[in-house]
A and B are shown apart, each in its own frame.
Chain A
Amino acid sequence: MNRGWTPFNVTSVVMGFSFLYIPILILIIYSFNASKLVTVWAGFSTQWYARAFANEGLVNAALVTLRVGLISATVATVLGTLAALALVRFSRFRGRFLFSGMIYAPLVMPEVITGLSLLLLFVSVGMDRGVTTVILSHITFSMCFVAVVVQSRLVSFDRSLEEAALDLGATPARAFMSVTLPIIAPAVLAGWMLAFTLSLDDLVIAQFNSGPGATTLPMKIFSQVRLGVTPEINAVCAVLVGIVASGVIIASIGLKRQEVRRMRAEQLAAQA
């Protein structure tokens, strides 16, 4: 009776999604505005994209961000997957309580605190702030997100598959690589993507921990926005939104295909 496309359901869904998407759409539309004023439409133009790509500061910041994101997401995925394994496989070891606390705490920690505390660490060991310190801090908070994502997949993982491999003479490492890892791969990939976008996104922690020559794209955008809204920044934002959105959509379609294929294979196996 109140299922399906009732007027209430249509209204709330349409209004909710309009609220979520219209601001981003406006941002993208106005990045193609010919006028320098962000709020007055004066015809279609791609000049701001050309300017953004010619702006050395912006391009350098984008390259720094990309480097930080790729390295930190990869290390965070390794560490986060190990942490998830530790949480799921070893139900008790010394300090497990502290360990799980340290995994969950960064998820809700205000960024200003994480940023400040890491900065104090780097200062106290006499490390110069730069790309390395930003990478280290991004690894630290994003590995926890990876751990949570991978953990949720590992919980539903059927361990007898791995035990079968062990019984058949595989070493634990081999059993992990050829049985466990392929099964949890979608979660590991999702974890990597999450870590990468978190790194791409982060302003506050980078602000605390970066030094000269290590300006990331969010830092650059933030400092420009404080001076005023420019169509050039709109163009940069539109490019970023486009990259992330297409990445997420492609990945989820890929995962869906894989799921369908797996279910079909299981059905075939059941019939045989």
Chain B
Amino acid sequence: MKNGLRAILARSTIWLPYLWLLIFFLAPFVLVAKLSLSEPAIAQPPYIPAMRFLDGPIGWWADIKRFSIGNYLFITEDSLYWKSYLSSLRIAIISTFLTLAIGYPLALGMARAPRAWRPTLLMLVILPFWTSFLIRVYAWIGILKKEGLLNQLLLWVGIISEPLTILNTNVAVYIGIVYSYLPFMVLPLYANLERQNQTLLEAANDLGCTNRAAFWKVTWPLSMPGVIAGCFLVFIPTVGEFVIPSLLGGSETLMIGRTLYDEFFQNRDWPVSSAVAVILLMILLVPIMLFQRSEARARSRGQ
């Protein structure tokens, strides 16, 4: 008896978190998928359930026959949705490249800084990651506003004679994304660059490579795993981003996270927002799988 209890307790390391995730992670997804197949209603909650658990097996079959793909058809017909998906992907791709362009020199500088400095520099990259995302995005509003500090500075220097409109445009969204996700790019890059064998560069130099050529022939190709990991870590969450487009973006900024949010909270169309979520998930599944595969490959190579 006591042993049986102990075995159950030992197994609880598995089933306790397992059960939790089944209830609070997997089941909700099934509900989203189910709701995306049902019809909206003016009621509370605002939809007609596509399938009721209490109906029993016979009822379930009837329910399944009632499933409608109307919400998905609606999404393909209304240009707002596919434009949002495409625009999200475009914004995510552009900002991933911008983050790489800014993050790479920083990671390289950190990795080549004197050894004693490196832990401090690493800490300085991680620290913003701990401070609130919302606050970091908010901080840019005061800078990018028409009468904001950036415009004041540029006017004072004399680069521009009229204040620029940056806030509530896509430019502000790019700045916000690059700023918020920079640590995600720098950390894997730094981890890779810091480990690189310095003697390879010396060999390249001895063989007559300039520093620049040695970088493109040695450092850059070797840093590919870090580049790939960093790009995925920025790209994947950016596609579904909500806070940045809604605080820094304007009416022209279409991003699917924001469209879903508005669909849910303003139009109160739960079935359509569920269908939007299902499609977003399917789009993200590809990069997520690619990322996990490249991580697994990197891990097996490391060992």
| Chain A residues within 8 Å of B, Cβ to Cβ | 1-6, 8-13, 15-17, 19-21, 23-24, 26-27, 30, 38-39, 79-80, 82-83, 85-86, 89-90, 93, 95, 98-99, 102-106, 108-113, 116-118, 120-121, 123-124, 136-137, 139-140, 143, 147, 172-173, 193, 197, 200-201, 203-204, 207-208, 218, 221-222, 225-226, 229, 233-234, 237, 240-241, 244-245, 248-249, 252
Complex contacts, A19 vs chain B, CB 8 Å: 102, 179, 182
Minimum Cβ distance to chain B for residue A156 (Å): 13
- Closest chain A residue to B140 by CB distance? A23
Q: Is B249 an interface residue (CB 8 A)?
A: no
Q: Is B242 an interface residue (CB 8 A)?
A: yes
Complex contacts, A8 vs chain B, CB 8 Å: 105, 109
For B256-298 the 0/1 string (1 means CB < 8 A from A) is 0100110011000010011001001100100010011000000
A27 to B14, CA, bound (A): 45
A120 near B130 with CB under 8 A, answer no
A38 to B141, CA, bound (A): 10
Contact partner of B25 (CB less than 8 A), chosen from A17, A82, A102, A221, is A102
Complex contacts, A200 vs chain B, CB 8 Å: 132
Minimum Cβ distance to chain B for residue A127 (Å): 12
B135 near A108 with CB under 8 A, answer no
Complex contacts, B12 vs chain A, CB 8 Å: 82
- Closest chain B residue to A23 by CB distance? B139
Prevailing SS type, chain B contact patch:
helix
Stretch at the interface among B63-71, B72-80, B146-154, B222-230: B146-154
* A-B CB contact pairs (8 Å), 28 listed: A8-B109, A9-B112, A15-B106, A20-B183, A23-B143, A23-B179, A24-B128, A83-B13, A99-B18, A102-B18, A103-B21, A106-B25, A112-B261, A116-B264, A116-B273, A118-B24, A139-B20, A140-B20, A140-B25, A172-B10, A173-B9, A193-B130, A197-B132, A221-B135, A229-B141, A229-B142, A241-B132, A248-B126
B139 near A116 with CB under 8 A, answer no
B260 near A112 with CB under 8 A, answer yes
B127 near A245 with CB under 8 A, answer yes
B277 near A117 with CB under 8 A, answer yes
Given the known interface contacts A140-B25, A237-B135, A244-B131, the answer about A113 and B292 at a Cβ–Cβ threshold of 8 Å is: no
Q: Is B165 an interface residue (CB 8 A)?
A: no
Beyond known contacts A15-B106, A16-B103, A39-B147: 16 more, CB 8 A cutoff: A4-B112, A13-B110, A16-B102, A24-B136, A39-B152, A83-B18, A89-B13, A110-B241, A110-B257, A118-B24, A197-B132, A203-B243, A221-B134, A221-B138, A237-B135, A248-B126
- Closest chain A residue to B123 by CB distance? A252
| Chain B residues within 8 Å of A, Cβ to Cβ | 6, 9-10, 12-14, 16-18, 20-29, 31-32, 35, 45, 102-103, 105-106, 108-110, 112-114, 121, 123-128, 130-136, 138-143, 145, 147-149, 152, 179, 182-183, 186, 198, 201-202, 205, 211, 236-237, 239-243, 247, 257, 260-261, 264-265, 270, 273-274, 277, 280-281, 284, 288, 291-292
A185 to B198, CA, bound (A): 35
A16 to B124, CA, bound (A): 11
B131 near A4 with CB under 8 A, answer no
A248 to B123, CA, bound (A): 9
Minimum Cβ distance to chain A for residue B167 (Å): 10
Minimum Cβ distance to chain A for residue B218 (Å): 11
Complex contacts, A140 vs chain B, CB 8 Å: 20-21, 24-25
A118 near B28 with CB under 8 A, answer yes
Contact partner of B130 (CB less than 8 A), chosen from A26, A85, A121, A245, is A245
Of A11, A13, A80, A237, most B-chain CB atoms within 10 Å: A13
Complex contacts, A12 vs chain B, CB 8 Å: 105-106, 108-109
A204 near B242 with CB under 8 A, answer yes
Complex contacts, B109 vs chain A, CB 8 Å: 8-13, 16
Minimum Cβ distance to chain B for residue A120 (Å): 4
B242 near A112 with CB under 8 A, answer yes
Complex contacts, B273 vs chain A, CB 8 Å: 116
A221 to B103, CA, bound (A): 29
